[in-house]
Structure 1
Amino acid sequence: MAYDAEDTRRRIFAAAAAEFAEHGLAGARVERIATAARANKQAIYLYYGSKEKLFAAVLRAKLEEAGAAIRVDPDAVAESVGQLFDWYQEHPELIRLLLWDALEAVEEDAESERERRDAFRRKVERLTGGDAARQLPEETRVRAAQDLLFTVMGLIAWNFAVPRMCRLVLDEETERAALDRRRRTVMEAARTLAAAGGLAGRG
Structure 2
Amino acid sequence: MAYDAEDTRRRIFDAAAAEFAEHGLAGARVSRIAAAARANKQAIYLYYGSKEKLFAAILRAKLEEVRVSISLDPDALAESVGQIFDWYQEHPELIRLVLWEALEAGGAPEENERGRREGFREKAHQLVDGGTAGHLPRDARVRAAQDLLFTIMGLIAWNFAVPRMCRLVLDEETDQAALARRRRTVIESVRRLATTPDASEAEPRGQGPGG
One fold, TM greater than 0.5? yes
Counterpart of 1:61 in structure 2 is 61
Give the match for residue 96 of structure 1.
Answer: 96
What residue is the counterpart of 1:127 in the other structure? 127
Quick one: distance in 2 between partners of 1:113 and 1:64? 13
In structure 1, how many angstroms separate the alpha carbons of the residues matched to 2:130 and 2:52?
Answer: 39
Q: Which residue of 2 aligns with 1:79?
A: 79
Q: Is the 8 A contact 2:8 2:37 kept in 1?
A: yes
Cα drift, residue 131 of structure 1? 3.9
C-alpha distance in 1, partners of 2:60/2:109?
10
Gap regions ≥5 residues in structure 2? 199-211
Q: 1:15 to 1:141 in 2, by over 3 A?
A: same
Aligned residue for 2:140?
140
User: Does structure 1 retain, via aligned residues, the 8 Å contact 2:25–2:104?
Assistant: yes
| Structure 1 segments (4+ residues) deviating >3 Å | 106-110, 131-136
Structure 2 counterpart of 1:24:
24
Counterpart residue number, 1:42? 42
Query: SS at 1:52's partner residue?
Result: helix
- Residues 197/168 of structure 1: CA separation in 2 closer, same or farther (3 Å cut): farther
Whole-angstrom CA distance in 2 between matches of 1:122 and 1:47: 31
Residue 197 and residue 152 in structure 1: after superposition, are their counterparts in 2 closer, same or farther (change >3 A)? farther
Residues of 2 paired with 1:108 and 1:4: CA distance?
35
Q: Distance in 2 between matches of 1:169 and 1:102?
A: 25
C-alpha displacement of 1:134: 5.1
> Which SS does the other structure have where 1:195 is aligned?
coil
Change (3 A) 1:108 1:37: farther
Q: Identity percentage over the alignment? A: 76
Structure 1 residues 115 and 146: CA distance shift in structure 2, 3 A: same
Q: Is the 8 A contact 2:133 2:196 kept in 1?
A: no
Contact 1:155 1:186 in 2 (8 A): yes
Question: 2:10 & 2:197 partners in 1: Cα distance?
Answer: 42
Structure number with greater Rg is: 2
- 1:11: how far off? 0.8
CA contact (8 A) 2:135 2:197 kept: no
TM-score when normalising by structure 1: 0.91
Aligned residue number for residue 188 of structure 1: 188
Q: Any idea what the Cα deviations from partners look like across 1:154-192, whole Å, max 9, x if unmatched?
A: 111111111111111111122111111100111111111
Alignment of 1:99-118 (within 5 A): 99-105=99-105, 109-110=110-111, 112-118=112-118
Alpha-carbon separation, structure 2, partners of 1:144 and 1:102: 24
Partners in 2 of 1:147 and 1:155 — Cα distance? 12
Given that residues 74 and 126 in structure 1 are in contact (C-alpha distance below 8 angstroms), is that contact kept between their aligned partners in structure 2? yes
Unaligned runs of 5+ in 1: 199-203
Tell me which residue corresponds to 1:201.
none
Q: How many residues are aligned here?
A: 197
- Give the SS at the match of 2:74: coil
CA contact (8 A) 1:96 1:161 kept: yes
TM-score w.r.t. length of structure 2 = 0.88
Q: Separation in 1 of the partners of 2:16 and 2:169?
A: 34
* Structure with higher RCO (Cα < 8 A, 6+ apart): 1
